[in-house]
Amino acid sequence: MTRLDRYAVFGHPIKHSKSPRIHRLFAEQTGQTLEYTTQDVPAEQFQSAVNSFFAGGGKGLNCTVPLKELAWNCADRKTERAQLSKAVNTLALQADGSLLGDNTDGIGLVTDLIANHAIVLSGSRLLILGAGGASRGIIAPILEQSPHTLVIANRTVDKAVKLAAEFDNDNSIAGCGFEALKNRQFDLILNATSASLSGQLPPLPTGLLAKNGVCYDLAYGNEPTAFVRWGQENHALKSLDGLGMLVEQAAEAFFIWRGVRPKTRPVIELLNSERKP
């Protein structure tokens, strides 16, 4: 009997991951037969878990927190966007037995913003909160959309300044602390800090969001996150969380593995309907 093609997501913790559900829905929709499971993998066991997964016939892996930097290190070859983000969320077994590493987070975010929510990035004033791995993964795809400005604000100011300098080629990107945001306005504010997950918010001045501005939290939950609530309180035109980004990054991974592009909208709608009371 031939085994189904095997895929999995590694993370720690991983129990509540929506990825298996999303990939099974994609497979059903596109008529692909595959298996997609979760595996709880602490960082120190990552390399051996990857080795046994692929030695056992695995075809592709997603890697999530806290394993994306380790996955970057273990890929034999990386796409340009993965190179820039220094993190890999998708590993794909190649015909020659090597592992290709990609990062579909940034393109997933940009697709959700533009295709699903009709948000204009080109010529807009954009602010990213946070200068960790999540921010790094989205900067290059956002810059490709030619925003008017991109500011990265972080609690540890030095990290924001250094991160901005890595991507700067025409002075349209700058790093700063939260204090420096006073008297500035942005059309789109993206929260890429890990603060939201614990219900916390960076200190944001009032008036930061422009009229008809949009807020987007890369995190998501069954309830609105602290940052989504901040957006609502500050009269955002839309205040969104990262569920759409999650589905879009998964669709990119599915395409890399299977060569078929699933429709994302029905999956986003289904997952959204399930978290509404």
Report d(CA 40, CA 36) in Å as an integer: 14
Report d(CA 248, CA 112) in Å as an integer: 7
- CB of 109 or CB of 195, closer to ligand ATR: 195
Give the binding range for ligand ATR (CB under 6 A) out of 163-171, 195-203, 235-243, 247-255: 195-203
β partners of residue 90:
62, 102
What residues between 144 and 183 interact with ligand ATR by CB under 6 A? Answer: 154-156, 159
Report d(CA 194, CA 207) in Å as an integer: 23
Q: Does the protein bind ligand ATR through residue 60 (CB under 6 A)? A: no
Binding mask 109-148 for ligand ATR (x = CB under 6 A): ---------------------xxxxx--------------
Peptide linkage before 13 cis (omega within 30 of 0): yes
β partners of residue 129:
153, 191
Residues 6+ apart with CB under 8 A from 64: 9, 10, 11, 14, 17, 19, 89
Q: What string of H, E and C letters represents the secondary structure of 27-85? A: HHHHCCCEEEEEEECCHHHHHHHHHHHHHCCEEEEEECCCCHHHHHHHCCEECHHHHHH
- CB of 58 or CB of 133, closer to ligand ATR: 133
The span from the first CA to the last CA of the chain, in angstroms, equals 44
- CB of 152 or CB of 247, closer to ligand ATR: 152
Give the binding range for ligand ATR (CB under 6 A) out of 144-152, 180-188, 190-198, 229-237: 190-198
What residues between 202 and 221 interact with ligand ATR by CB under 6 A? Answer: 202
To the query of whether residue 59 is one of the catalytic residues in this protein, the response is no
- CB of 60 or CB of 130, closer to ligand ATR: 130
Q: Which amino acid is at 66?
A: P
Q: Among 193, 225, 249, 264, which residue sits at the site for ligand ATR (rule: CB under 6 A)?
A: 193
H or E segment to which residue 148 belongs: none
Residue sitting closest to ligand ATR (CB):
132
How far apart are CB 67 and ligand ATR at their closest, in Å? 11
* Sheet strand arrangement including 58-63: 34-40, 5-11, 58-63, 90-93, 99-102, 77-78
Q: Does the protein bind ligand ATR through residue 242 (CB under 6 A)? A: no
- CB of 9 or CB of 27, closer to ligand ATR: 9
Q: Does the protein bind ligand ATR through residue 189 (CB under 6 A)? A: no
How far apart are CB 221 and ligand ATR at their closest, in Å? 15
Q: Which residues bind ligand ATR (CB under 6 A)?
A: 130-134, 154-156, 159, 193-195, 200, 202
Q: Please give the positions annotated as active site.
A: 68
